[in-house]
Amino acid sequence: MRTFTHGTAMWDVACPQRPSRMAGLTMAGFCVRDLDALRMVPHPAVTLVLEFGAGSPVLDCASGPQQRGSIVAGPGLGSGGAVRARGENVECVQVRLSPVIARAVLGASPAEIDGTVVPLDDLWGREASRIRERLGDLSSWQDRFALTDALLARRHEAGPLVDPEVAWAWHRIVVSRGLIRVDGLAAEVGWSRKRLWSRFRSQLGLPPKRAVKLIRFDHAVHRLVAGEGVARVAADTGYADQSHLHRDVMAFTGATPATVAGEPFLAVDDIAWPSRGTTAFLSSPGTSGPVADRR
């Protein structure tokens, strides 16, 4: 476990010693004595928070009710700076799921969450309480990661898969870091544009154009956190100019690029998610060609 210190934030962070058995799933463990109004920055993954400690994380959502305890959030949670996290003595395993595997793991499409926050109890019923108890009974973070991975793998094996065409379209968007014209994706998989857009939205929880913008934003904002200049980041990540990047950052976070570059939610990623990158969002990183011939 490592200590993350950023301004007034001080968190203990644990990482799995072994990768998940499922591509598209990453985890980190957090122990936070005092979590104070943390801005949730949109991310291109479904977020699953499994809390088990004496305290309980609280999410204050501008557009919905306050949420406590274990939650699920769709891709893009926090757009416009609308969600803040807080709490005392918080202990949790945070899981990031590629939208491609989230449907099977959750037992529900990310479209049913649609960028909002849902109590895990609402999706899994008593199973959510049992997971909390089992995580609390373990004393080792590595044991907690192993338990979480096994439970989610079992759910994934029994859950519904997304169409391979949809998975391929997501793969193309991710590996391009959002630098792709989505109008060509339907032709690549041999579907009509209407069919791909509908299936993509219903199975992954966001339309292709939104996915492109979110993944491009995520790549750009992490470069800002790393200390790169706004002009350079805008030019390298597909924005027309600095103003274009500024508008996107404001739309996703409700803050300026300079402010977002100092957000603890992003700064902790180098410790909590050392393998962060395009492959973290994929369910099958080895995919290498269109999938239209599979059906």
24 and 132 assigned to the same domain = yes
User: Among 105, 136, 158, where does a domain finish?
Assistant: 158
Ranges in the chain, pLDDT < 50: 285-288, 292-295
Collect all residues with Cβ–Cβ distance below 8 Å to 139 and sequence separation of at least 6: none
Identify whether the C-beta of residue 234 lies closer than 8 Å to the C-beta of residue 241: yes
Identify whether the C-beta of residue 72 lies closer than 8 Å to the C-beta of residue 110: no
From residue 269, alpha-carbon distances to 130, 153, 154, 155, 214 in Å are: 29, 24, 27, 27, 17
Identify whether the C-beta of residue 156 lies closer than 8 Å to the C-beta of residue 101: yes
User: Residue 275: what pLDDT?
Assistant: 76
245 and 288 assigned to the same domain = yes
The HSE-up count of residue 144 (CA atoms within 13 Å, CB side) is 26
Identify whether the C-beta of residue 63 lies closer than 8 Å to the C-beta of residue 117: no
Q: Which domain covers residue 245, as residue numbers?
A: 164-294
User: Among 92, 123, 158, where does a domain finish?
Assistant: 158
Distance in angstroms (rounded) separating the CA atoms of residues 257 and 242:
10
251 and 222 assigned to the same domain = yes
Residue range 93-140, pLDDT digits in tens? 999 999 999 999 999 888 888 767 899 999 999 999 999 999 999 999
Write the CATH number for 171: 1.10.10.60
174 and 107 assigned to the same domain = no
User: Residue 295: what pLDDT?
Assistant: 37
pTM flag (> 0.85): yes
User: Residue 287: what pLDDT?
Assistant: 46
User: Among 158, 184, 211, where does a domain finish?
Assistant: 158
